């Protein structure tokens, strides 16, 4: 191993077998260590003293005056004018206003059925749907016609007979008059002894015979009106049978009672039907109804919008739904389609015990579609739609935005830089706000209501008012009944 180089400033010493050490270098290092060991504690003490002095300088003297606290700032909105109109929106389903089941009124075999008489096809009023075999009813009608003709002939013969009997009665009366005169003459001759009792008896028999013949003719004449009434009664009965036969003959032809859509057709050519058998079912095409459900408060606001407190109320209107214009909306993938309708009647028997709602019907003319783009769109049975009912209540309502509504139905307002807490009763819930009756709350249009949170709130608490803004009423027009 090569030996370490020798410095010109000293010589190397070999220490054991570990090599050599430079003597001046060791001496310098030992001196530095001794100095550090001597001044190290002094430096630590000096640093502690400096830190203590610095910390002591940070301690501020206690305040002798209470701190000045500013009232918390609040954001507010200004209540707008009373709400004059809002909409009630409910979901509904299209149902037929009138659906008729055509049944067989007579027995017969189906002999004809047009090809277009199928379920789902549109038919106009008077269109023939089915034809039953009319042969038996035509034969029956012909038989009754012949019987009526026979009665008419009997009446004509009775008229002739009446005239003949009237003439015979006149002759009988003259014959009786002659017999009576003859008897009187014989009686006078008998008193003069110029006639015999036998001649008197012969004349009396002749008188009795004439009187008997006259009585018989008079009886026959008296029976003639009775026979006429009997024949007329028989004729009336035949005419009734004739009318019934004509009606049965007309019933062999089944026609559409109105413009509609066939929903079911159950018979084919060759089927034999009996009275009461269902043949076809047809629903009205022009007008449909929308089955919807209203809540009790919806009905209250509808009635409030149509009547005032001073207007007289009819007892019948309390049990009927207020007739109200409605807008029926159907939305597809392309756009929304609207139809004009009217809320017309209740459907059912009062409030549904399961949903606590009131079933109602809205009549819609589905053939009337506003706009040329909607010409190919129609309301089909079973379509789900939305019904919008405009309400213009007579009761004055204050609209409060949802941001101002606090738990427990509280509203905070600011008056003279003081917080005022109001307990309100909600009259109507809208998507962006609530409505309260103005006569049941001290809030008025123009008041500032708080919409920002506060950690602590109590009545009369000082607050700072931030700039206010009016709520946008346009966003609350398309509200839906919850």
Q: Could you tell me whether strands 336-346 and 324-331 are parallel, antiparallel, or unpaired per DSSP bridges?
A: antiparallel
Give the right CATH number for 287-391 from 2.40.30, 3.30.750, 2.102.10, 1.10.760.
2.40.30
Q: How many CA atoms lie within 13 A of 465 on its CB side?
A: 18
Q: Cα(299)–Cα(306) distance, rounded to whole angstroms? A: 11
The torsion region of residue 348 among left (phi > 0), alpha (psi -120 to 50) and beta comes to: left
- Among left, alpha and beta (phi > 0; psi -120 to 50; other), residue 315 is alpha
Cα dihedral 262, 268, 273, 278, rounded to 10, equals: -20
Tell whether the torsion through CA atoms of 414, 416, 419 and 420 is positive or negative: negative
pLDDT in tens, 359-377: 999 999 876 555 544 555 7
CA nearest neighbour of 107 among 133, 126, 84, 87: 133
β-strands 128-132, 260-265 pairing: unpaired
What gap in Å lies between CA 137 and CA 144, rounded to an integer? Answer: 11
Is the pLDDT reported for residue 393 higher than 70?
Answer: yes
Question: What is the C-alpha to C-alpha distance for residues 379 and 287, in angstroms, rounded to an integer?
Answer: 10
Give strand ranges (E) for 27-127.
73-74, 76-78, 86-96, 99-103, 108-112, 122-123
Read off the pLDDT of each residue in 38-47 and give the average, rounded to a whole number.
78
CA-to-CA distance for 81 and 79, rounded, in angstroms?
7
**CA 393/CA 308 separation, integer angstroms:** 9
Q: What are phi and psi of 429, to 5 degrees?
A: -105, 125
At 253 the pLDDT is 94
Distance CA 346, CA 366 (A): 20
Mean pLDDT of the chain: 83
Q: Residues 456, 412: contact at Cβ < 8 Å? A: no
Which of the four pLDDT bands, split at 50, 70 and 90, describes residue 9? very low
Q: Is the pLDDT of residue 475 over 50?
A: no
pLDDT of residue 473: 44
Task: Provide the pairing of β-strand 464-465 with 73-74.
Answer: parallel
Over range 325-350, report the average pLDDT.
89
Quote the pLDDT of residue 10: 43
Q: In this prediction, what percent of the chain has a pLDDT beyond 70?
A: 83
- In the block, which residue shows the tokens 């379920």? 119
For CATH 2.40.30, the residue range(s) in the chain are: 287-391
What is the structure's pLDDT at 24? Answer: 56
DSSP state letters, 140-157: HHHHHHHHHHHHHHHHHH
Strands (E) located in 18-166? 20-22, 73-74, 76-78, 86-96, 99-103, 108-112, 122-123, 128-132
Give start-end residues of each CATH 1.10.287 domain in the chain: 136-251
Q: What is the CATH number of domain 76-85+395-476?
A: 2.40.420.20
Q: How far apart are CA 260 and CA 256, in angstroms?
A: 8
Q: Which of 157, 298, 151, 321 is nearest to 236 (CA)?
A: 151
Mean pLDDT to the nearest integer, 147-164: 91
Distance, in Å, from the CA atom of 432 to the CA atom of 426, rounded to the nearest integer, reads 14
Count of Cβ atoms closer than 10 Å to residue 117 Cβ: 20
Distance CA 143, CA 149 (A): 10
CB 449 within 8 A of CB 443: yes
Spatial separation of the C-alpha atoms in residues 268 and 129, rounded to whole Å: 11
Q: In CATH terms, is domain 136-251 a member of 3.40.50? A: no
Residue 151: pLDDT band with limits 50, 70, 90: very high
pLDDT mean over 304-308: 73
Helices (H), 192-332: 197-251, 296-306
Average pLDDT, integer, range 416-437: 91
pLDDT at 469 exceeding the cut of 70: no
The mean pLDDT of 385-393, rounded to a whole number, is 93
408 phi and psi angles, rounded to 5 deg: 60, 30
Residue 461, classed as helix, strand or coil, is coil
pTM of the predicted protein model:
0.66
Using CB atoms within 10 Å of the CB of residue 296, give its burial: 0 to 12 exposed, 13 to 18 middle, 19+ buried.
exposed
Q: What is the pLDDT of residue 375?
A: 52
Q: What is the pLDDT of residue 250?
A: 93
pLDDT grade, residue 312 (50/70/90)? very low
Please give the share of the chain, as a percent, with pLDDT higher than 90: 43
Nearest-angstrom CA–CA distance, 379 and 364:
9
Binned at pLDDT 50, 70 and 90, residue 187 comes out as confident
What's the distance, Cα to Cα, between the start and end of the chain in Å? 101
Does 460 score more than 80 pLDDT?
A: yes
The predicted structure's pLDDT at residue 314: 55
CATH 2.40.420.20 location in the chain: 76-85+395-476
Q: Is the pLDDT of residue 461 over 70?
A: yes
Give the pLDDT of residue 407.
87
| pLDDT tens figures, 228-266 | 999 999 999 999 999 999 999 999 999 999 999 998 888
pLDDT at 2: 43
């Amino acid at each position: 191993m090569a030996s370490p180089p020798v410095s010109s400033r000293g010589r190397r010493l070999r220490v054991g077998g570990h090599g050599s050490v430079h003597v001046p270098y060791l001496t310098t290092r030992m001196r530095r260590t001794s100095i550090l060991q001597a001044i190290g504690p002094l430096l630590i003490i000096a640093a502690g003293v400096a830190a203590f002095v610095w910390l002591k300088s940070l301690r501020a003297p206690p305040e002798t005056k209470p701190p000045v606290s500013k009232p918390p700032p609040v954001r507010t909105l200004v209540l707008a004018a009373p709400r004059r109109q809002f909409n009630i929106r409910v979901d509904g389903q299209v149902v037929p206003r009138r659906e008729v089941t055509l049944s067989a009124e007579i027995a017969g075999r189906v002999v004809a059925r047009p090809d277009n008489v199928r379920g789902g096809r549109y038919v106009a009023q008077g269109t023939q749907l089915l034809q039953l075999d009319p042969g038996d009813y035509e034969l029956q009608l012909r038989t009754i016609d012949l019987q009526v003709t026979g009665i008419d002939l009997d009446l004509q013969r009775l008229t002739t007979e009446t005239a003949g009997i009237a003439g015979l009665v006149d002759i009988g009366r003259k014959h009786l008059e002659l017999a009576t005169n003859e008897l009187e003459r014989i009686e006078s001759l008998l008193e003069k002894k110029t006639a015999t009792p036998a001649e008197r008896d012969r004349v009396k028999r002749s008188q009795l015979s004439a009187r008997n013949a006259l009585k018989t003719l008079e009886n026959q004449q008296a029976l003639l009106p009775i026979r006429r009434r009997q024949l007329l009664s028989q004729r009336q009965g035949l005419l009734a049978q004739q009318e019934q036969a004509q009606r049965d003959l007309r019933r062999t032809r089944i026609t559409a009672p109105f413009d509609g859509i066939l929903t079911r057709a159950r018979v084919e050519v060759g089927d034999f039907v009996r009275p009461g058998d269902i043949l076809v079912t047809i629903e009205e095409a022009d007008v449909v109804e929308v089955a919807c459900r209203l809540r009790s408060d919806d009905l209250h606001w509808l009635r409030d919008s149509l009547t005032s407190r001073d207007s007289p109320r009819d007892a019948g209107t309390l049990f009927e739904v207020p007739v109200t214009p409605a807008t029926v909306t159907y939305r597809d993938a392309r756009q929304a389609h609207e139809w004009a309708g009217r809320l017309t009647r209740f459907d059912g028997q009062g409030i549904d015990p399961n949903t606590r709602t009131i079933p109602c019907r809205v009549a819609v003319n589905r053939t009337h579609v506003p706009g040329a783009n909607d010409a190919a769109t129609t309301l089909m049975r079973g379509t789900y739609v939305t019904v919008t009912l405009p309400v213009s209540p007579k009761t004055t309502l204050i609209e409060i935005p949802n941001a101002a509504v606090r738990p427990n139905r509280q509203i905070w307002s600011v008056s003279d830089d003081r917080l005022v807490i109001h307990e309100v009763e909600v009259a109507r819930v809208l998507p962006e706000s609530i409505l309260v009756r103005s006569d049941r709350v001290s809030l008025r249009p123009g008041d500032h209501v708080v919409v920002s949170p506060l950690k602590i709130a109590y009545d009369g608490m000082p607050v700072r008012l931030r700039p206010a803004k009016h709520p946008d009423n346009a966003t609350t027009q398309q509200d839906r009944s919850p």
